[in-house]
């Protein structure tokens, strides 16, 4: 693996949705997630990580070291067994007695082969059940929940369905009614963190991985278009780079420098141009620099 990153990073992602459902809530009939107290829209960290994983898998298909551990319809134990086969492990519960260093070897094997373990970490149940310390890997990259800048008002759209499933249904009726939830427009903000300390000590997350992560964040919606999600796009990625491994300033002080406001408060926003984004780069803490990507 390449050398691990040496600098801490804190970042802000701005992305938007137009006439789509950015993240359905299964507890609410798949309507867009909403903070019930404030009315602001929410998108989970799991949803965003899934899009990043899918993008990496698509552009790095077949490239060693960039496989994806958490995939749809693929049991995690299937990947875990690859490590067992690589090290000739027959009894996972007894191997620690014969090989005290097996924890680190398995962890390094999984991190070197799977990009998402190297990035986000993972819980590998096979090794947890085998009482191996490598079963839980804490990744250096973490995301919070995305929250819309303004409250959202999801709309329920009724649609007609002309595709009839069965012969009996076709004889009874020609069309059926359906529904879909959309957000007419919303701009979301999410904050993230990259720990150089965890990259060095645990997963080996490298500069090449970091550049690929930035690329994935900027393009994660480009390979994820669907009728349900409408038009979604990453509008800007704002990155604060620390000169040191542990950081030169608290993350919240840097995030407070990102200001997003609506140009005309009296009318609903319907495009990214209805907002103004300002990043206060004056008198940044010593050892911190800022770059903006779009």
The DSSP secondary structure of 158-210, one letter per residue, reads: EEEE---SSHHHHHH-S-EEEEEEEEEEEEEEEEEEE-HHHIIIII--BHHHH
**Is it the case that residue 165 has pLDDT exceeding 80?**
no
Q: What is the DSSP letter of 60?
A: T
Please check whether residue 168 is in contact with residue 176, taking contact to mean a CB–CB distance below 8 angstroms.
no
What are the residues whose beta carbons fall under 8 Å from the beta carbon of 180, sequence distance 6 or more? 21, 156, 157, 159, 228
Confidence of residue 114 (pLDDT cuts 50, 70, 90): very high
**C-alpha dist (Å) from residue 283 to 14, 167, 254, 259, 287:** 23, 71, 11, 16, 11
pLDDT of residue 169: 66
CA distances from 175 to 89, 158, 163, 168, 169 (A): 58, 13, 7, 13, 9
Q: pLDDT tens for residues 206-224? A: 999 999 999 999 999 999 9
- Pairing between β-strand 9-20 and β-strand 231-242 as defined by DSSP bridges: antiparallel
The whole-number pLDDT of residue 101 equals 87
DSSP state of 285: P
Tell me the pLDDT of the chain averaged across its residues. Answer: 93
Least confident of 83-87, 161-165, 201-205, 239-243: 161-165
Instruction: Give 170's pLDDT tier (boundaries 50, 70, 90).
Output: low
- Say which DSSP state 243 is in: S
How many residues can be counted in the chain?
Answer: 294
Averaged pLDDT, 45-66: 96
Specify whether the CB–CB gap between 179 and 151 falls below 8 A. no
pLDDT-derived band at 134 (thresholds 50, 70, 90) equals confident
């Amino acid at each position: 693996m390449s050398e691990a990153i040496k600098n801490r990073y804190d970042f802000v992602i701005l992305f938007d949705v137009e006439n789509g459902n950015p993240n359905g809530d299964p507890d609410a009939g798949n309507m867009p997630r909403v903070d019930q107290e404030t009315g602001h829209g929410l998108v989970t960290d799991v949803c965003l990580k899934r899009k990043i994983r899918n993008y990496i898998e698509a552009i790095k298909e077949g490239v060693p070291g960039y496989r994806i551990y958490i995939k749809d319809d693929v049991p995690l134990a299937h990947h875990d067994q690859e490590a067992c086969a690589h090290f000739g492990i027959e009894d996972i519960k007894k191997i620690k007695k014969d090989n005290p260093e097996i924890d680190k070897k398995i962890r390094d094997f999984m991190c070197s082969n799977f990009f998402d373990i190297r990035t986000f970490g993972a819980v590998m149940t096979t090794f947890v059940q085998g009482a191996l310390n490598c079963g839980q890997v804490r990744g250096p990259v973490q995301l919070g929940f995305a929250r819309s800048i303004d409250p959202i008002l999801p709309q329920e759209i009724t649609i007609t369905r002309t595709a009839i499933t069965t012969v009996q249904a076709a004889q009874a009726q020609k069309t059926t009614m359906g529904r879909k939830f959309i957000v007419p427009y919303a701009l979301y903000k999410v904050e993230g963190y990259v720990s150089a300390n965890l990259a060095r000590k645990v997963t080996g997350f490298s500069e090449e991985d970091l550049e690929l992560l930035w690329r994935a964040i900027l393009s994660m919606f480009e390979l994820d278009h669907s009728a349900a999600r409408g038009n979604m796009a990453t509008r800007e990625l704002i990155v604060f780079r620390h000169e040191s491994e542990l950081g030169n300033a608290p993350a919240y002080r840097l995030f407070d420098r990102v200001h997003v406001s609506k140009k005309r408060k009296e009318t609903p926003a319907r495009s990214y141009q209805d907002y103004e984004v300002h990043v206060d780069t004056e008198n940044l803490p010593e050892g911190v620099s800022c770059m903006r990507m779009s």
